Every structure is written in C-alpha cells, then in structure tokens.
Homo-oligomer: A and B are copies of this chain.
Amino acid sequence: MKTTTIYDIAKEAGVSIATVSNAINGKGKVGKKKRDEIFQVMERLKYQPSVIASALMGKKTYTLGLLIPDVSNPFFSEIARSVEDLAHSAGYSVIVCSTDNRDERVEKYIQLLEQKSVDGILIGTGMENPEILVQLSEKSLPIVMIAREAAAISVHSVLTDDFKGGALAAGHLLQLGHSRMAILSENIKVSSSNERVKGFEFALFEAGVPMDNKQLISCDSSIKDGKRAALELIRGEGLRPSAIFCCNDLLAIGALQAAKEEGVRVPEQLSIIGFDNTILSTVTDPALTTIAQPMDHMVKLAFDLLIASPESGDTIKQRIVMQPELIIRESTDKPSKQGNQDN
C-alpha cells in the first residue's frame, strides 16, 4: 500500500509540488483559492508529510534524545514524563535511553541519536568518565545537562544545588538533636551524589559534630543495595547511628526495610532521610522525609534551553542552579535514649 506523497497531492490539486510544499509550510505566497484546494485534497487523501524526507533537506526531525540512568527508576520516569509532555506540546517526540550510568551505553546511545539526526539531547545520566561528552559538545548538536553537571565541558546545565541539599538534610537532623549519623551514598563517581555527601558532611563539620568515615557506605542505587548497606550500618559494631542520610529515595527505602528486618523502629529508634521526593517517598510507612528538587521547573528550563539554544549560538553556556527543599514527613524524629541502649 503506497503512502500518499506530495506528488499525489500536487497532481490531484493540479499544481506543482513546490506549491503544495509552500502551502503546507506557509512559505512563499500561495493564492487563497489554490491553498484551500490543496488543503482539501490533503484532507481527502489523508496526506501526512514525511518527516524523514523533510529532515533530509535540513529541516528538523522533531525528535529529542533523553539520556537517563533508568526509566524504571521513579525519579527518572517522572522526569521522562515531564520531558515528554513539554516535547509533545512543542511537536517533538522523545527517544528514551536508559544508560545504567555505563559509559559504553552512553556512547552507544549518543551515536545512535546522532545517526538519527535528533534535534537535541537532554542528558540526565551519570557516567564514569565525563570525557566521553567532549566530542559531542563540540558538534553542532544541542545538548543540555539536567540534574547533573559536567564541569569538564562547555554545555548548558540546570541542576539542583546538591551540596545545599545535603546540608539541608544535615541541618534537619542536627536540629532534631542527632549526633551519630551515617550516610548511604550511591557510587561516589556520580557527581550529584558526591555533592550531596559533601554538603552533608560540611554541615556536620560546621556544627562541630564528628562524622566517622566508616559510617559512609557507597553502593549501587537500588533498594536491594540500600538494604544491604543499611544492614551493615545497623548491625555494625559500636554504637548504632541514630540517623541515616540516604543519597536518594531508593536507598532510603532499602534502609527502611533493613530497619524493619532488624526490628529497629523508624523514626523512634532510627531516623532516615532520603533525597529526590519521588512518589516512593509518599508510599512507604512511615512516609519518607526527603529533599525535593523542583523537577518540573528544571525540566522546563532545560527543555527551553535545548530547543532555543541553537539560535543563541555557542557563546554563553548557562548553568542554572535551583534550590532544594526539605520535605518533612514521618521517617525522622528526635533521637531516643532507647536507640542507644538497644545496641
């Protein structure tokens, strides 16, 4: 079944294909009468211009790439949805690429996206070696980092002040009266996690609260890993921490499960705080205290930069930093005396 092309329309309407093209794109003047006729024919023949063909002539593909660690991770699936909605209302489609933060996948996906001539790439994935982006950044393909930073290269980026976020978490715990804290971090190579940890530690330092290095565990970013790591922390020798700062909600949930398994009550005996304010944090019992990033806003800004940036030229690369927010729910409370005795 042949699809109808611009030639079919031209023939039916008794005009040239150039005129049809002009009518469709509102270019060059086309007489009202002819224009109407053309549109009628298009309607009748259910003509849909081929994006492929027009892309080949240098026009846009109206397709964007979105690189994230994992769509099935709620934090990123929520981002994906925002991106998709924005894209859709601007006439774009989005190709979702889950990288698992693996360089090999990042590079492969980027190559694929280039071959498909996407109009831009939104990068929300971490990677082991940020250098792999430098080649990309030197091409004319627009890219914008979201919820990440790539200090090594010159690109637009919109991200949350992760350092501040870590500090916020620490401040909350400090104010509650905690002094024995532990940290569950995802792979420290991931810059955002690294910042969060630093911010947390710095706030502790400023408050004169010591932080034992052995109380910082870094692991993969999944509930299972979080649980395993938290178990170490809870069962560990010496005094059990009275509070755990987790670099994301997934790890926090792992910690919640570890506590449950060990019969440690949250928040009475152990406070747990997450990061990202994903839907998961509203669903646990106790619901998670966490740090929120203004994702919708960030996605909006990143998207606009991505779509608008080709015009503005390569000159000024923006770095937009948003403020994180502490969301207090049920998983944090004052440290209890019991907590100590149990151990």
Contacts and interface: CB of A to CB of B under 8 A. Distances in A.
Interface residues of A, number: 51
Contacts of A325: none
Contacts of A51: 115-117
Given A52-B55, A85-B98, A282 B117 contact: no
A283 B280 contact: yes
Interface in A47-90: 48-53, 55-56, 61-63, 70-74, 77-78, 80-81, 84-85, 88
A93 B116 contact: yes
Given A72-B80, A84-B97, A93-B95, A117 B285 contact: no
A283 B81 CA distance: 22
Interface string A80-121: 110011001000011111100000000011011111110000
A289 to B, nearest CB: 16
A27 interface: no
A96 B98 contact: no
B95 A81 contact: no
Interface string A6-17: 000000000000
A95 B117 CA distance: 14
A297 interface: no
A306 B79 CA distance: 28
A63 B282 CA distance: 36
A107 B188 CA distance: 44
| Residue with the greatest number of chain B CB neighbours at <10 A, chosen from A94, A95, A98, A253 | A95
A151 interface: no
- 8 A-B pairs closest in CB distance: A77-B77, A72-B81, A285-B285, A93-B95, A51-B115, A72-B78, A51-B116, A72-B77
A284 interface: yes
A71 B70 CA distance: 12
Contacts of A95: 63, 93-96
